[in-house]
Amino acid sequence: MVLPLDDCYFMKKALQEATYAFDAGEIPVGAVIVIQDRIIARSHNLTEKLNDVTAHAEMQAITSAANFLGGKYLKDCTLYVTLEPCQMCAGALYWSQIGRIVYAAKDLQRGCGAMGTTLHPKTSIEGGIMEQEAALLLQRFFAGKRK
């Protein structure tokens, strides 16, 4: 059986990245960037390992995708990320002029929607793809931290 290269397919890849973060004791957020059905960047949150608040999954994915493409604009790309981007990441996505953002779980506190961050006029955004899986991973992580 050939799996269709749909939003669920790519979000599963982002979720796989999120589990790598989980296993490393990082807040489990993963991302992939796709152009023409091809994954050109994979990343997960590394803020603890790198001691660096800027090491969110999305930031690394943007840098990596631009490096792959040899140009800093990601107009024809889609970002799949397991948690709604924060102000910083949405701000970086603004500069990248990325075509589309697809996220899984909503971040009601620090997400770009709640914070009112401006996206590029050419960028579309949608959430809720595999939301439960992504939210469950985050809940498991924070429940473990509280113990």
Positions in the binding site for its own copies (CB under 8 A) = 47, 51-54, 59, 62-63, 66-67, 70-73, 86-92, 94-96, 115-118
Angle among Cα 29, 34, 110 to the nearest 5 degrees reads 30
Of 54 and 132, which has the nearer Cβ to its own copies? 54
Letter string b/e over residues 29-43, b meaning 16 or more CB atoms within 10 A of that residue's CB: bbbbbbbeeebbbbb
DSSP 31: E
Nearest distance, CB of residue 98 and its own copies, angstroms: 10
Q: Is 89 annotated as a binding residue?
A: yes
Report the nearest approach of its own copies to the CB of residue 108 (Å).
Answer: 14
Q: Which of 17, 26, 58, 84 is catalytic?
A: 58
86 is in an annotated binding site: yes
**Whether 131 is catalytic:** no
77 is in an annotated binding site: no
Q: Strand 30-35 to strand 124-126: parallel, antiparallel, or no bridges (unpaired)?
A: unpaired
Cross-sheet strand order for the sheet of 30-35: 38-44, 30-35, 77-83, 100-105, 124-126
Q: How far is the CB of 21 from its own copies (least distance, A)?
A: 15
Tell me how far, at minimum, the Cβ of 56 lies from its own copies, in Å: 8
Q: How far apart are CA 21 and CA 28, in angstroms?
A: 5
> How crowded is residue 44: how many other Cβ atoms within 10 Å of its Cβ?
28
Q: Which residues are catalytic?
A: 58
Q: Which residues are annotated as a binding site?
A: 56, 86, 89
